[in-house]
Structure 1
Amino acid sequence: MANGSIDLDEIAARATHIEVACSRCERRGRYRLSRLVARLGEYFPITDFGSETADCPRQNATATERCDVYFPNLVKIMTGIDQITKPRASPDDDDHY
């Protein structure tokens, strides 16, 4: 883990593929981690993945329109937790949504 980022080798030790998506458009994909490690190196930080590999037409747009890469299955790969759930509301809670 370089500078607090998860490296490709850490992910590849737990999974064979990683899902990639953009929060601003419909683009989605899946990459084989062994190929990514061979191409980018085992210590490549996942935080740099979008800028290094994305061929999105929005990559150089303004900050609010720019491609926004995220990894839908990364939490599950790294923790084994399938889904993040919100805590249940309690009558004693101060905040009510």
Structure 2
Amino acid sequence: FTIMKQEPFGPLCPMLSFKTFDEVIKRANNHELGLASYICTNSMEQAHRASEQIETGTVAVNTPLVAIAEAPFGGIKQTGYGREGGSMAIKDYLNVKYTHLGIKG
């Protein structure tokens, strides 16, 4: 399905059926984009496992909301550049340099 291969920005909620938890993880990680993932479950154990295993920048569990000012937001893989929001946001725009100076004397 084309909608499952793109990164639409709008009020869309495409869904696919699955038989096993591992199938869900494999499908999610087989995608070239990784901005955000949304999980609907009554199992906190599955929510935790999915959050650890899915290759994405943000995971929302039982909510459509993921972006808040205090938390970093951004994707991985072929989506986004770095993070915005939270104290980590500035780090993606800085070039950190280490200089070691040996002084004789």
Q: Please give the TM-score of this superposition, normalised by the length of structure 2.
A: 0.27
Larger Rg belongs to: 2
Q: Report 1 or 2 for greater relative contact order, CA contacts < 8 Å, sequence distance ≥ 6.
A: 1
